[in-house]
Amino acid sequence: MEMLMEKLRSKSSQFKSFYESSKALRMTMLEKRYPIDPTERSHLQKCLDTLQQNIKVTTLQAMIERLESLSRQLGLKFVPGPTGMDLFISSDMFYLEVTLESSGGVKDVKIHHDGQGGQQSCEELVACLGRRDFADFTAQLEGLASIYQINAEKKVKCKAFTALTSLEVDLTALASLHPFSKDTLDLVQHSPVGYLEKRRGGHPMKLTYFVAPYELLDPTSRARPIKALPPEGPLKVGTYVSVCMESSSANKLQIVPLVTAGRGADGSSWPIYAPLGTSNSISVAGSFVLTLNKPMPICISLINSITAVTQAPCADLTTTYPLLNLICQHSGNGTETSSSKELFVNVDDQHHCYLMTESRGLLDGVVVSSIPFNHPSHVPEIIGFLRRQAMFNCIIASCVRPSTKVVDFEKMTMVEVTPLSWRQLSVSLEHPLEESMASVELDLTDPDHVQVKVFTSSTSPGQYSELATKVFQRCLSIPVTMRTLIKQWNAESQLQQHRMMYNGSIGGGGLDPSGSGPGGGLDRSDPRGDGPPDLLDPEVSVKLEPGLGQQNYGEMLSDQQQPPSIPDPVFDSSFSSPLDHDLSLGQSLNLNYFLS
């Protein structure tokens, strides 16, 4: 018995008290453990990444954690180096070696592409990490990964980067063949490949081929409103394409440069293109592609011309839409805009209402985001077509102002815009001083020399055409050109009335504009002959005797001490960019640049 009790006493020390046992039981019952759903896990990871993105990187550990988070989001591998100061971000086709400093700064970033000779230091990646611009770093990683997004074996994928770099060498050679010019805007408008910006790290090569005139205005500066484009480096304005690669059916792509320069005896040069063959190309399930910076409405005829050059479709033509409606929708900055509705534009002291007349079938279009091709000779022709379409879209978009405040319709000038083709536009309006229609024809056949012809019932076709052409070539804006013509017509009408008043006061007779009445003759053929002096000639002085007629014309001109002059044909120093929806058209901006 005693032995049994002794065993019980020896084991009793191993058991917990009743209080401890009950406490442990309660804690176990209160604890809830549920398996985490994959969707919830993904949502939780996104929240953690968002928190990570908003943490300021000031230490070495914070930099490592941020780069690890970015790599995981992009599906890339992240491996810390043996020293803890170097990191490796890699995919199956390339890797980045990031060397850090103890303070969290970046010492160097090297890129190595599989199948290439060796590593290359990338100043662009060092700079963006140095300024903690992780959005730009992410974009460059995505750009590097996009090079190899083709359906092929690894040994074939290795040739993708070789093909892209060979194409970039050819495009750089084409840009160098353009006559030497220090004017960046001239390169944008006339170079066969536009203004070329070479590949920077993971950023692809960029070709800027069109800059709208209003993009050159700086609304923040009053003294110097005109932006000067940099002679080199990245452009922050303009319409451009990026040179990339994408997966497609099998195509032959170059693996060596194909462009050589031919030289003439007079010093001229031209490109010579080598055809694709077995020795300079490889078959890859992909193609080169020009990716537009934003989707562009393009008419069917130009798309057919592009397809005839590249022999590759760039858009689905089974469903087409009215081109003007597409342009209005893409120019509305998210606002619902349609060419079937009235488009209101307030141009300083004038109020216009534009009506677009669609030409279904003749001028349909689709929206294009990218254009595939497989030979460097295709690029100059594609750029030429895109440049023409961008100009056409810019002209139509000048009539689109979603934020314009509508005024009384009785004060509006009604204008109808009718595209005859993508090369020609017709603009019609009621003449403000005559009971007839005025017509303005815009000829866009030559983008460098756009021609404007003005037709009215009382004047010859060439009387206002030169002025309208000069204004339109500088601004590519229908409202500004219409405003110029209307102001010109009003100014000349006032001038004619002043002349008639002068003639009436001198002759003391009735005012007969036909010239048959007493004192009403206007000899326009010889203002210095027997007729009245030409008030537009500053060399002619007129001595007016007081008391002649019912009104003294000298008193009418006393405020300006000179005969009335025609106003500035375009701007009166108070006009702002109609393409800038953040600015009111009433703000003061000196745009005499358009007539300089």
Q: Report the 3 state secondary structure along 29-69.
A: HHCCCCCCCHHHHHHHHHHHHHHHHCCCCCCHHHHHHHHHH
Phi then psi for residue 282, to 5 deg, are -145, 145
Residue 403 lies in a domain: no
Same domain for 121 and 168?
no
Cβ–Cβ under 8 Å, residues 593 and 226: yes
Kind and range of the H or E run holding 206 = strand 205-210
Which residue's structure tokens are 């497609």? 248
Q: What are the start-end ranges of the H helices in 74-232?
A: 123-130, 134-146, 154-176, 184-190
Same domain for 123 and 160?
no
**What is the residue range of 136's domain?**
50-146
Separation between Cα atoms, residue 510 and residue 52, nearest integer Å? 87
Strands 437-443 and 451-455: antiparallel
- CA distances, 79 to each of 118, 435, 441 (Å): 20, 80, 65
Residue 479: CB atoms within 10 A of its CB come to 23
Q: Strand order of the sheet with strand 413-421?
A: 343-347, 350-356, 413-421, 424-430, 437-443, 451-455
Residue 394: CB atoms within 10 A of its CB come to 22
Residue 454 lies in a domain: no
Cβ–Cβ under 8 Å, residues 144 and 202: yes
Give the count of domains, the chain. Answer: 2
Phi then psi for residue 116, to 5 deg, are -95, 170
Same domain for 94 and 179?
no
Separation between Cα atoms, residue 21 and residue 43, nearest integer Å? 39
* Nearest Cα residue to 394 out of 445, 451, 444: 444
Separation between Cα atoms, residue 379 and residue 542, nearest integer Å? 64
Cβ–Cβ under 8 Å, residues 509 and 517: yes
**3-state SS, residue 57:** coil
pTM for this prediction: 0.75
Same domain for 162 and 279?
yes
Q: Dihedral, CA atoms, 169, 259, 377, 159, nearest 10 degrees?
A: -50
pLDDT at 151 (0 to 100): 80
Same domain for 258 and 379?
yes
Residue 414 lies in a domain: no
Cβ–Cβ under 8 Å, residues 548 and 555: no
Q: Indicate the residue type of 326.
A: L
* Nearest Cα residue to 184 out of 197, 172, 173, 200: 197
Same domain for 120 and 213?
no
**3-state SS, residue 331:** helix
Residue 329 lies in a domain: yes
**3-state SS, residue 106:** strand
pLDDT at 347 (0 to 100): 85
Same domain for 278 and 384?
yes
Same domain for 212 and 116?
no
Among 113, 128, 146, the domain boundary falls at 146
> What secondary structure letter does DSSP report for 570?
S
Same domain for 259 and 296?
yes
Residue 534 lies in a domain: no
Kind and range of the H or E run holding 365 = strand 364-373
Among 146, 165, 192, the domain boundary falls at 146
Among 363, 397, 431, the domain boundary falls at 397
Total residues belonging to the chain: 596
> What secondary structure letter does DSSP report for 521?
-
Separation between Cα atoms, residue 127 and residue 86, nearest integer Å? 17
Same domain for 254 and 316?
yes
- CA distances, 446 to each of 69, 177, 392, 442, 455 (Å): 52, 22, 12, 11, 21
pLDDT at 239 (0 to 100): 94
Same domain for 227 and 80?
no
Reading the block at residue 372, the tokens are: 């595939």
Residue 128 lies in a domain: yes
Residue 583: CB atoms within 10 A of its CB come to 15
pLDDT tens-digit profile, the chain (596 residues): 777 777 777 776 667 777 777 777 777 766 666 666 778 778 887 887 788 777 788 888 889 988 988 898 888 999 988 888 899 999 888 889 999 998 888 999 999 988 777 778 889 999 999 999 999 999 999 999 888 888 878 888 888 888 999 999 999 999 988 766 678 888 898 899 999 999 988 899 999 999 998 888 776 664 445 666 777 778 888 999 999 999 888 889 999 999 998 887 777 788 999 999 999 999 888 899 999 999 999 999 999 999 999 999 998 888 899 999 999 988 876 566 666 678 889 887 888 999 998 877 778 999 999 999 999 999 999 999 999 999 999 999 999 988 777 777 778 889 999 998 889 999 999 888 887 899 999 999 998 889 999 998 877 777 889 999 999 998 999 999 999 999 988 888 888 777 778 776 665 544 444 444 444 444 444 444 444 444 334 443 333 333 333 343 334 333 443 434 434 444 443 443 443 333 333 333 344 444 44
Residue 217 lies in a domain: yes
Separation between Cα atoms, residue 263 and residue 270, nearest integer Å? 7
Same domain for 391 and 253?
yes
Q: Strand order of the sheet with strand 106-113?
A: 77-80, 86-90, 94-100, 106-113, 120-121
Residue 541 lies in a domain: no
Q: What are the start-end ranges of the H helices in 332-452?
A: 378-397
